Amino acid sequence: MRLISAVVASLAVGIQASPVPQSAGSQISNAQYGQAIGYAVQGAIDAVAGIDNWNNKREQFVKALVQGMWDRNPSPSEAPAAICYNQGYDLQVPTGMRGLRDQEVSSGPLKTDYDCFYMTGNNAFWSRGDGGSVNLWTVYDSNRCNFDDSSDLYCR
């Protein structure tokens, strides 16, 4: 996974995030999903400014990031789930991943990174490591998706 420097992240602080523009009837591109994630990152950086506790910072960052992704989802009908995870995982349909971005969060010498993406319908996400809110966060359409006790997500 690639690492994004803290300098770049700190430069993004204070930038106003906005929805991803789309034209009526247009096909949503992978780049538009990636752009939505980029805007969500900016909001997540703002949300954790001033948090010193490492685990609290990680948890608040990933929650704010995924909620921001969901709020800016270019096509909830195509992608009924937003996911960030920092462990191993598999998808039932790997081509059903939109806007994949490796996103780092750091505090002093401590850092970790998350794979963040939108998952299309008729797909499943299988976590292969620790769950818990510092490692995994999902926001999804509960009419189309369900999250089980083993931290796996299934969407129709």
Residue 56 lies in a domain: yes
Residue position matching structure tokens 């909830």: 76
Average pLDDT of the chain, as a whole number: 87
pTM above 0.85, yes or no: no
The answer to whether residue 39 is domain-embedded is: yes
Please report whether residue 83 resides in a domain: yes
Report pLDDT for 19.
43
Domain that holds residue 48: 6-12+30-155
Cα 64 from Cα 42, distance rounded (Å): 10
Q: Is residue 24 part of a domain?
A: no
Task: Determine which of 21-30, 91-100, 123-132 has the lowest per-residue pLDDT on average.
Answer: 21-30
> Is residue 36 one of the residues assigned to a domain?
yes
- The whole-number pLDDT of residue 132 equals 87
Q: Which of 18-49 are b and which e, b meaning 16 or more Cβ less than 10 Å from the residue's Cβ? A: eebeeeeeeebeeebbbbbbbbbbbbbbbbbe
User: Is residue 42 helix, strand or coil?
Assistant: helix
Q: Specify whether the CB–CB gap between 43 and 68 falls below 8 A.
A: yes
In a domain, 18, yes or no: no
Total domains in the chain come to 1
Phi, psi of 137 (to 5 degrees): -145, 140
Is 1 part of any domain?
Answer: no
Q: How far apart are CA 130 and CA 9, in angstroms?
A: 26
Query: In this structure, is residue 55 part of a structural domain?
Result: yes
Other CB atoms within a 10 A radius of the CB of residue 87 amount to 15
